[in-house]
A = this chain, B = another copy of it.
Amino acid sequence: MHNYKIIVAYDGTRYKGWQNQKTTDATIQGKLEKILEKMTGRPIQIIGSGRTDAGVHAKGQTANFYLKDSYDEEELLEMFNQYLPEDIAALSVKEAGERFHSRFSAIGKIYRYRIHTGKIPEVFERKYVYSYNRPLDVERMKEAAEHMIGTKDFAAFCGNRHMKKSTVRSVYEIRFQETEEELQIIYNGNGFLQNMVRIMTGTLIEVGEGKKKPEDIPSIIASKNRERAGFTAPAQGLTLMEVKYH
């Protein structure tokens, strides 16, 4: 068996996420699997590094799949891009070691959340930003974000209320990039729970607009109570930028 690693970019606007329990048709994984099935004549499973929610974008989602025969990497790449819809692109396809697993081998992920803070609506990037259209107190948000750094139980920031596995994750860094019109928050961690980046962002926005205080964060985390954290920021502002491997 040959194990291939694929890096994928997508505009998540019209998809039900990377994967969906009810359908494969409107998922990115489903679109990729359909192409492999067409090529090989048999169903091939694609293993993603993790699911992205409906509407979330990616510039560096990573997945792997096994093929019985060996294929030229360049040919595989071209085939994907020939048959993928225009809102999904394969950025690279490389043969990986047999033991490479896009989820289990991942050591970190980088997400970016874009908030349009300018008063004039953003026309061209409108599907990739949260149109907040008001200023935020970024200094307060930075202070709050400091409390989110570290290895903690992030149950309060988990969108899955029936989560049975560990809700402990390590957040290495939360970086803010500001222009006059836009605030970007870049999250770097070993992994993120369902909706975690969006709930962290919603919480930081509530701090930035004065509804919560930076000092509230430690007790929100300690509560492990989703009700204590902020709102779930809209999916469209979020992009999975990179999945890191050794």
Contact = CB atoms under 8 A, between A and B. Distances in A.
Interface of A: 9-11, 57, 59, 77, 81, 84, 86-91, 119-124, 126, 128, 131
A89 B123 contact: yes
13 contacts: A9-B124, A10-B123, A11-B124, A11-B126, A59-B124, A81-B121, A84-B121, A86-B131, A87-B123, A87-B126, A88-B123, A89-B121, A90-B120
Contact of A124 (B57, B77, B120, B131): B57
A124 B10 CA distance: 8
Contact of A123 (B86, B122, B126): B86
A159 B107 CA distance: 56
Contact of A86 (B59, B86, B126): B126
A86 B236 CA distance: 14
Nearest to A90: B120
Contacts of A131: 86
Contacts of A81: 119-121
Contacts of A91: 120
Contacts of A77: 120
Contact of A11 (B57, B59, B87, B123): B123
Given A11-B123, A81-B120, A86-B126, 14 more contacts: A9-B123, A9-B124, A10-B123, A59-B124, A77-B120, A81-B119, A86-B121, A86-B123, A87-B123, A88-B123, A89-B122, A89-B123, A90-B120, A124-B128
Contacts of A122: 89
A150 to B, nearest CB: 33
A119 B9 CA distance: 14
Contacts of A128: 124
A88 B123 CA distance: 6
Nearest to A88: B123
Nearest to A78: B119
A195 to B, nearest CB: 23
A59 B77 CA distance: 35
A120 B59 CA distance: 12
